[in-house]
Structure 1
Amino acid sequence: MPLTRKAYRAAILHSIADPAEVGIEASYEYFEDGLLVVDNGQISAIGHASELLPTLPADIDITHYQDALITPGFIDTHIHLPQTGMVGAYGEQLLDWLNTYTFPCESQFADKAHADEVADIFIKELLRNGTTTALVFGSVHPQSVNSFFEAAEQLDLRMIAGKVMMDRNAPDYLTDTAESSYVESKALIERWHGKGRLHYAVTPRFAPTSTPEQLTLAGQLLSEYPDLYMQTHISENLKEIEWVKELFPERKGYLDVYDHYQLLGERSVFAHGVHLCDDECARLAETGSAIAFCPTSNFFLGSGLFNLPMAEKHKLNVGIGTDVGGGTSFSLLQTLNEAYKVVQLQGARLSPFKSLYLATLGGARALRLEDKIGTLLPGTDADFLVLDYNATPLLSYRLKQANNIAETLFVLMTLGDDRTVLQTYAAGALVHQR
């Protein structure tokens, strides 16, 4: 296979550490006139154009962007494929919203043709918004996951997904059994996990919709395949937390349910965590588990405000999630806009560099993939974006007033959306062009 080497010239910015741990200045690298060199789908060099250009062959293909910023691809640590068709559904909080909108919408995924159609729309939306890796809930139907992975494999995307396990407290047309969920999940794992850049996540929807038998088998799958992911929901809504107490009176609390069934671990991602206490944050951190912070969804469903400073205090891994369809946008730029407000409402501040970290390296660390994605360091996958400073008239005008990269980044996160993403690259291939 011939060596394919390309270079991309623009302003370049990426996170290299968590600002909460090393301070803002040491947390990122910025090249005002930068060069990114890609060899066979991986990054081989990053630096100042003036320093790198003399080291490259004269005939190398260089794409030069004006008024643009290259960043790592965004990482969405919590999103639902089957809810694409009901995003922006009016007027309910979590439990009523599930029954009124979500379950009927998810029932359509019994049909493989429908699953194929939505998987195509869903992946195009991710890429249009600059999301190159996502941790995805399917529906209870195995075909939802097959459709998603088939579409992702064609583009060589790094994606993680799983079939929902749900054997109680849901409509009959949408439940599996403890045994069938185990058998179907195992077949999907054997088919997809580790194939190309695809990974499988064991996916009990949340504690109220799984029997103890099903949660036991979810834990068994994790012990049988040590590098699997686990994704579920936790402490999103106060009524949900009360419900968990009623269903599992023998457990200390919501997290303890999952802990008891051995679902905590280095590749376990719990969505929301809005109402976690200090002890639960400490236990999540101790087990290497992560939280997906979903500000847009938490606002939209009236769930509450995630306590990011508390998570930082416990050195808990946190990624950002759009949580479509509870969240109302596939755009992680828009999601970071909401995250800023969540932190503001708690009397704290979210720096644009911490936001960049959450959407890139923080998400990669939550997924234990920081050696492959989340930065632009040599040796990582060439998953990156080109953000256009002139995407809209207002953005263009506002960025002309920006005095430094911090201000530029913050404006991109407040005024930016899918229109800001000029191009998305995955494994060095152009997978979206605005």
Structure 2
Amino acid sequence: MSESSSPVQGVVQVLTQSSDTLFLLLGAIMVFLMHAGFAFLEVGTVRRKNQVNALVKILADFGVSALAYFFIGYWVAYGGHFFSSAETLSQGNGYELVKFFFLMTFAAAIPAIVSGGIAERARFYPILIATFLTVGLVYPFFEGIVWNGNFGIQAWFENSFGAGFHDFAGSVVVHGVGGWIALIAVIFLGMRKGRVRAGKHTNFAPSNIPFLALGAWILCVGWFGFNVMSAQSLDGISGLVALNSLMAMVGGIVVALIAGKNDPGFIHNGPLAGLVAICAGSDLMHPIGALITGGFAGGLFVYLFTYLQNNTTIDDVLGVWPLHGICGAWGGVAAGIFGQTALGGLGGVSLTVQFLGTVLGITVAVIGAVFVYGLLHKLTGLRLSEEDEFLGADLAIHKISSINED
């Protein structure tokens, strides 16, 4: 019986591996598509003279991110490398290779997040150097702690508090880290020229609401690959993750609609705020908990972005620190609240650990960003000249406008 079943077991194993590989590949493609969402969200928000730069920057960042993660970041996070034969690398239907692709698209989200905050006044090549350093070193350092158990921190959490830091799809690991890195970059760059007139803050209107909306829609669709396919295998897929992602997105929409007083920019960023917040606990929460988590995130984004734009010198063009940094941190903590069985969650999570892990992620991001952007600020400068900023990044950097006037 065992001899006859052995070939059957082999076939089943091959089919399972192939199915998991295909599943994760589709997830990687969906997250890759999200970078188009980042691009169009930025294109629609910046002034017309900076639209080409937004598109080029996102794609160039992706290419640099892939190299940084391939040669350095993946090794820092997981101890893996690609310096072996193609035959060895492709064993098991190449599942590990597709897993790298999937994780790399997460890593590449870091500079895509930062890009929206520093838009309209950043120099091109110094920012690409910052991308290489943050994706190669800063982000994977924290990623490895949370998702690979590096440095024994997760083990310490479990021994001390009975649970590790839970971040299923990256509220803190990806969005929180990206948002806090962006805050430091924005502070180093300073405000755009013309934002303060006669002692009062002036907000530049988005150049193209349809492009902004298109970017938000692409991100929303891709996010279901970001969250659901973080299971990384078919047997781990959860309808709960999908429903929780949906409910958090809806909560973000409705609250941003009310708090934002029908402003299309807020309405299209509301669902993104909800989706950022639900990443960490999407596999644990009850859908009502997810709805509350997303709704609170939508309100957080509207009020904090409005306050920053009207009352501070923090000129965060797309509001990426409120959206990713603050809502990501809220998501990490919310997993420890609504993941509890007393509130309908699945349990196995500690609020204390969620708070400590979130603070750790913020600390790593801030220290890493201060080093990277501070070093580049001293060595090369980060900001366009006043003349180039007035001319616009499209003509100053790329020598072409987004619209042919002929």
Shorter chain as denominator, the TM-score bin is: under 0.3
Report the TM-score, using the length of structure 2 for normalisation. 0.25
Q: Which structure is higher in RCO with an 8 Å CA cutoff and minimum separation 6?
A: 2
Tell me which protein shows more strand as a share of its residues. 1
Report the TM-score, using the length of structure 1 for normalisation. 0.24
